[in-house]
C-alpha cells in the first residue's frame, strides 16, 4: 500500500512537471508569435514577398525614424491618434507611404514595396504642405499639419521620352491628409459641420487633368497623352482647394501630401 502511494505521488509530480513545461513553451511561443510576427508591421518586396532589410521608415510629422531589421520588421509607431503619414524608402524601390488613422497598425500589416522603374519620375518624395497655414482645428488631420507651408500651389518641371499611341501616363499621390471637401466630410474625414472646400486640382502644362476630393493613399489621376510634350519638358501643377463658405477673402484649404510621382509607360 505504501509503495503504491509513492508510485502515485511520483506520477503526479511527473505529470505536473510535464504540464508546466508544456505551458511555459506554449506561453513563450504565443508571446513571440503575437508580438513579433502579428502585431509588428513588416516591409516586404511586392513581387518576391521576401522581407526588405535596411529600409528607412519615418513619420515626418513627428520627426521619427527607424530602419527595418533583417526580417523586414521595425518598431516605429505613431504617438498620435489622428491620421499621420508613414513613409518607407529603400534604394532601388519606389517611395511608399501609408496613412495611419488610429495610432497603430492592424495585425499582420504588410507594407509592400515595388521595384523602382525608369519610367517613373519622382516629382517629390518629401512631406509637402499646401495652403495658407490657416485652418480650423476640426479640419481633416488639423492637429498634425505643421510642416512649412509652400503656398496654395506647387509646380515642378519634368521630361518624358517618346510618346507612342499605346503610352499610358498618370500622376500618383502617395498619401494626402487635410482635404475638407463635402465628400471628405461625408466620409467622416473631418469634424466640420458646415464649411467645405473645393477639391484639389491637378494640371499638366496648364491643362486640368483631375481633382482630389478625399484623403487617402495611392490616388492615381490619368494623364491624357495629348497634353504631354513629346520628348520634351512638361510641367505638373497641383492647386489646393478654396473654402467655399468664406466670401470676404480667399481661404485656401491646408493639406499635407507625400510622394508625388509621374508614370509614363
- What is the domain partition of the chain in residue ranges? 1-38, 42-116, 117-264
Please give the CATH number for the structural domain made up of 42-116: 2.60.40.1120
Q: Model pTM?
A: 0.79
For residues 44-67, give the mean pLDDT: 95
How far is it, in rounded angstroms, from Cα 85 to Cα 176? 8
Is residue 125 within 8 A of residue 95, CB to CB? The reply is yes
Q: What angle do CA 154, 160, 163 make, to 5 degrees?
A: 130
Please give the CATH number for the structural domain made up of 117-264: 2.60.120
For residues 210-220, give the mean pLDDT: 96
Q: How confident is the model at residue 92 (pLDDT cuts 50, 70, 90)?
A: very high
How far is it, in rounded angstroms, from Cα 153 to Cα 100? 25
Q: How confident is the model at residue 80 (pLDDT cuts 50, 70, 90)?
A: low
Is residue 252 within 8 A of residue 243, CB to CB? The reply is yes
DSSP result, 121-183: EEEE-S-EEES-S---TTSTTGGG--SPB--SEEEEEEE-----TT--EEEEEEEEE----HH
Residue 255's closest CA among 128, 156, 157?
128
pLDDT digits (tens, 9 = 90+) for 183-201: 998 898 887 777 689 999 9
pLDDT digits (tens, 9 = 90+) for 97-128: 999 887 777 767 899 999 999 999 999 999 99
Q: How confident is the model at residue 145 (pLDDT cuts 50, 70, 90)?
A: low
Given this model, what pLDDT does residue 1 score? 45
Q: Is the pLDDT of residue 13 over 50?
A: no
Is residue 70 within 8 A of residue 51, CB to CB? The reply is yes
Tell me, rounded to whole angstroms, the distance of Cα 46 from its chain centroid. Answer: 15
% the chain with pLDDT above 90:
62
For residues 50-70, give the mean pLDDT: 95
Cα atoms in the Cβ-side hemisphere of radius 13 Å centred on 83? 23
What does the mean pLDDT of the chain come to? 83
Q: Which three cell numbers stand for residue 226?
A: 495629348
Given this model, what pLDDT does residue 245 score? 85
Given this model, what pLDDT does residue 61 score? 86
Amino acid at each position: 500500500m505504501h509503495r503504491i502511494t509513492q508510485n502515485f505521488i511520483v506520477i503526479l509530480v511527473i505529470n505536473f512537471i510535464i504540464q508546466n513545461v508544456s505551458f511555459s513553451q506554449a506561453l513563450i511561443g504565443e508571446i513571440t508569435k503575437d508580438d513579433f510576427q502579428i502585431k509588428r508591421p513588416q516591409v516586404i518586396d511586392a513581387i518576391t514577398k521576401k522581407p526588405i532589410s535596411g529600409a528607412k521608415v519615418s513619420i515626418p510629422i513627428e520627426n521619427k525614424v527607424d530602419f527595418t531589421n533583417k526580417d523586414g520588421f521595425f518598431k516605429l509607431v505613431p504617438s498620435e491618434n489622428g491620421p499621420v503619414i508613414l513613409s518607407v524608402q529603400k534604394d532601388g524601390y519606389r517611395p511608399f507611404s501609408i496613412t495611419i488613422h488610429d495610432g497603430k497598425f492592424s495585425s499582420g500589416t504588410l507594407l509592400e514595396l515595388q521595384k523602382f522603374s525608369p519610367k517613373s519620375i519622382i516629382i517629390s518624395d518629401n512631406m509637402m504642405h499646401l495652403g495658407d497655414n490657416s485652418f480650423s482645428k476640426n479640419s481633416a488631420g488639423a492637429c498634425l499639419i505643421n510642416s512649412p507651408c509652400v503656398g496654395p500651389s506647387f509646380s515642378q518641371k519634368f521630361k518624358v521620352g517618346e510618346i507612342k499611341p499605346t503610352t499610358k501616363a498618370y500622376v500618383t499621390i502617395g498619401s494626402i491628409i487635410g482635404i475638407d471637401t463635402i465628400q471628405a466630410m461625408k466620409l467622416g474625414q473631418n469634424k466640420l459641420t458646415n464649411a467645405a472646400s473645393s477639391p484639389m486640382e491637378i494640371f499638366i502644362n496648364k491643362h486640368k487633368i483631375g481633382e482630389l476630393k478625399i484623403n487617402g493613399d495611392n490616388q492615381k489621376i490619368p494623364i491624357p497623352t495629348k497634353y504631354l510634350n513629346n520628348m520634351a519638358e512638361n510641367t505638373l501643377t497641383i492647386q489646393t482647394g478654396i473654402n467655399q463658405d468664406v466670401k470676404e477673402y480667399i481661404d485656401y484649404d491646408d493639406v499635407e501630401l507625400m510622394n508625388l510621382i509621374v508614370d509614363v509607360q
